[in-house]
Chain A
Amino acid sequence: MIKTVDLEKIFVVRDQEVRAVDGITTHIKSGEVVVVIGPSGSGKSTYLRCLNGLETLTAGHVHIDGIDLANRKTDMNKVRREVGMVFQQFNLFPHKTVLENLVLAQMKVRKRSRKEAEIKGRALLVKVGIPEKESNYPSQLSGGQQQRVAIARALAMDPKVMLFDEPTSALDPEMVGEVLEVMKQLAREGMTMVVVTHEMGFAREVADRVLFMDYGKLVEEGTPEHFFTEPKEERAKLFLRQVL
């Protein structure tokens, strides 16, 4: 489904090279839930953003369903409609109602009729548990509700993969649960998911595989049981001691 080969992303900040992602090779299979964890600044988010081309790759390849994002001829917009993304800051469109947020890209990108898009949008709002808010504006919703709308907005495009960039980090603690619940449900339905998160409980419960990153490198990967109980690498052990 998603293959990354020697993926590298280098930022130049004040003439200093920062290797945010430094040679990551991995394969995410269809239907797999992969959780990426690591200390802050380890390049997890940058790695995730490379997967849908929000960051241009410095070197290496990302293959999504066999299409290489590093190829200049690849139509990014076509790739992105198959790859949903949920952001830490929700990034809902504040000037549009909840339903409009869900409908807009369906109509403009998927070329669906308004009626069709609204039916789809309403069904997804039911799925994430806030059908009564369809005509509200994002600013009138709580953080947890906004993030659930953001998930619904990404799902409305019928993506093959969902990327989550620290989806619960900007939420008040009591709202984290409702967002994680929606994500768990998605995982049960067999959606391919790549999740960057600090929610170790979620990783342990839902993940098929855990990737541990540090300094842009993939330090350790394995099943949650393996990773949380007997990590091999010293840095992973240190990290786990600090967060658990």
Chain B
Amino acid sequence: MLGIVAGLWVATEKMDYTWRWNRIPQYFLYHDENVKTVPTDGHITKIEKNGGTTTVTVRDQNEGISTFDIDTDTANVSIDEFLMEGDSVGSTREWRAGPLAVGLWVTLWISAVASVLGLIIGVITGLCRVSQNLTLRQLSITYIEIIRGTPLLVQLFIFYFFIGTVFNIGRIPCGIGALGIFAGAYVAEIIRAGIQSISKGQMEAARSLGMNVPQAMVYIILPQAFKRTLPPLAGQFISLIKDSSLVSVIAITDLTKSGREVITSTFAVFEIWFIVAFLYLILTFSLSQVVAWIERRLAVSD
């Protein structure tokens, strides 16, 4: 491992690449400066210092009064000074999230919504898949086969260019919809395997107590199936987070697209892709930790 890292280091040294890690943090968080300018010519009539902020009052030729709140250390005017239209009085500064932080957030919430959607679709389809009703069973098999048999990238294009255009849906709902439907097909098969792995005796016991099929499913079968399928479900949702990087092709500014945009302005290609990979890793690792925690909690009945 160390050998590989050392080898890569030597190789990048040889090709004369300048590492600029110091330029990265500003794409997460930056100090935004908002310069306040006077709209018309006028005199400064009053400067009132109030701790960190300063209020500057300007009177123009038509006796109109305007006031500006600025950060004290940026004040660059004095009392009675004459200002021309467009001159600056000072500025306010605030911290803003950079493109990488925004992209990370977009990836996070798109994945979260798509996961919930995928889980709902998956559970419903999984239940149809094991139902006695032939039509429901065939429909769910058709859905699963179509979705599993076509690439997610192509599904995204169809969703965005065809369904999105026909029904006039925005790109973000399209992206979430495509991801959710894609994940749903896999979740359905996982849920079906889980349901079928529960012994028949559980259903019989529930029915012999007078429960109907939905009650038995909700209170007896699904909780056990869910516990048993938690590891593959976690894998599926980790995949979903990673697959969400594909929504950048329909111009959703997720983490991957933000990374590409930052690269176009910094040329820090190596650094940005490493950072993007690391951020995905943080998301997926957190998810596996959460699932491990749930698994430990559910293990009390073992």
* B57-65, B220-228, B244-252: which lies at the interface: B220-228
Q: Kindly supply a per-residue 1/0 record for chain A positions 66-103, scoring 1 wherever the CB is within 8 Å of any chain B CB and 0 otherwise.
A: 00000000001110110111010101111111000000
B301: chain A residues within 8 A (beta carbon): 94-97, 137-139
A124 near B: Cβ within 8 Å?
A: no
B266 near A: Cβ within 8 Å?
A: no
A95 x B227 contact (CB < 8 A)? yes
Shortest beta-carbon distance, A189 to chain B, in Å? 21
Q: Which of A101-146 contact B (CB under 8 A)?
A: 104-105, 108-110, 137-139
Shortest beta-carbon distance, B183 to chain A, in Å? 25
B145 near A: Cβ within 8 Å?
A: no
B210 x A78 contact (CB < 8 A)? yes
B202 x A91 contact (CB < 8 A)? yes
B224 x A84 contact (CB < 8 A)? no
A83: chain B residues within 8 A (beta carbon): 208
B207 near A: Cβ within 8 Å?
A: yes
- 6 extra A-B contacts, CB within 8 A, seeds A54-B204, A80-B210, A104-B209: A77-B207, A85-B204, A87-B205, A105-B210, A109-B211, A137-B300
B205: chain A residues within 8 A (beta carbon): 85, 87, 91-93, 150
**CB-CB nearest in chain B for A153:** B209
A87-B211 contact given A93-B220, A94-B301, A104-B219, CB 8 Å threshold: no
Task: Pick the contact of A77: B199, B211, B223, B302 (CB < 8 A).
Answer: B211
**CB-CB nearest in chain B for A81:** B210
Q: How far is the CA of A104 from the CA of B202 in the complex (A)?
A: 14
B209 x A109 contact (CB < 8 A)? yes
Q: How many residues of A contact B (CB 8 A)?
A: 31
Q: How far is the CA of A83 from the CA of B206 in the complex (A)?
A: 12
B212: chain A residues within 8 A (beta carbon): 77
Chain A CB within 10 Å — which of B202, B210, B298 has the most?
B210
A54-B208 contact given A94-B224, A94-B301, CB 8 Å threshold: yes
A52 near B: Cβ within 8 Å?
A: yes
B215: chain A residues within 8 A (beta carbon): 108-109
Residues of B bordering A, CB below 8 Å: 199, 201-202, 204-212, 215, 219-220, 223-224, 227, 298, 300-302
Shortest beta-carbon distance, A30 to chain B, in Å? 20
Q: How far is the CA of A67 from the CA of B105 in the complex (A)?
A: 62
Interface pairs (22), CB distance under 8 Å: A54-B208, A77-B211, A78-B210, A81-B209, A83-B208, A85-B204, A85-B205, A85-B208, A87-B204, A91-B199, A91-B204, A92-B205, A93-B205, A93-B220, A94-B224, A95-B224, A97-B301, A104-B219, A105-B210, A139-B301, A150-B205, A157-B210
Task: Pick the contact of A108: B207, B211, B300 (CB < 8 A).
Answer: B211
A105 x B211 contact (CB < 8 A)? yes
Closest 5 CB pairs of A and B: A81-B210, A91-B205, A105-B209, A91-B201, A85-B208
Q: How far is the CA of A139 from the CA of B223 in the complex (A)?
A: 16
A80: chain B residues within 8 A (beta carbon): 207-210
Shortest beta-carbon distance, B243 to chain A, in Å? 31
Shortest beta-carbon distance, A164 to chain B, in Å? 12
